[in-house]
Structure formats: C-alpha cells, structure tokens
Amino acid sequence: QVRLTESGGGLVQPGGSLELTCTASGRTISDMGLGWFRQAPGKEREFVATHSRDGQTTMYADSVQGRFTITKDNGRNTVSLQMNRLKPADSAVYYCAADQLYGGQDSRMYDYWGQGIQVTVSS
C-alpha cells in the first residue's frame, strides 16, 4: 500500500513558477510508474506528465511540453513536477499517481492517488 501526499501548490502570477512535490509513504516508489494529472472545474481529469517505472522515459502532455519537468528522487521517495512559465489555463487541482506496472498517460492504469492540490495561475 502506498500513500501519496502532494505539496507545493498555491497562487502564482502568469509567467511564474511552482514546484509540486509528491511524497510517498508505505513502500518505495523506485520501481513504480509515476504520473501527474490535473482537473479543472467542469473538465475531466487530464494527463500532465509521467515517469516510467524503469526510469528511462518521461512523457508530457503537449500543453505543458517544454514548460514542465517531472523528476523522481528515489532517495527521498518523492516525485516532483517543476512548472515554469505558468498560464491561467494551467489552473487546476493537480494529482500525483503511482502504478505498480508501468505508468503512462491513461489514468485508469494507476493504482494509487494523492488527494490533490490546488494550483491557481492568476494576476
């Protein structure tokens, strides 16, 4: 069993940066696929970024490519999402997730989820 807890959200101006951190407890996530998803009001949950189980591959949604970076820290048992050049369209509740098999872009494949954290981009 894995418990995931997100931190680092909040209010930021357009063009600013935030780093979200997801801390895992209960077991190591070093051998798990990891992902970040987000959900804006009135919209479905969408894929943001993923870090493969084998640590060799990262993938990003087109909307965040080049602005967001997902990083796994096995020593701290965390996965982070560095978000730069933020836009109002990035405002959402962000969720981290862990998958025992692979990870990827499909939220249905993930076994464990955090409770979510709000990110608001506004002037």
Predicted local distance difference test score (pLDDT) of residue 70: 97
| DSSP per-residue string spanning 57-95 | -EEE-TTTTTTEEEEEETTTTEEEEEE-S--GGG-EEEE
Residue 55 scores a pLDDT above 80: no
Predicted local distance difference test score (pLDDT) of residue 53: 86
Place of tokens 């962000």: 94
Average of pLDDT values for 25-47? 95
Average of pLDDT values for 90-108? 94
Average of pLDDT values for 46-54? 93
Do the beta carbons of residue 95 and residue 45 sit within 8 Å? yes
Averaged pLDDT score across all residues of the chain: 96
Question: What's the CA gap between 55 and 107, in Å, rounded?
Answer: 19
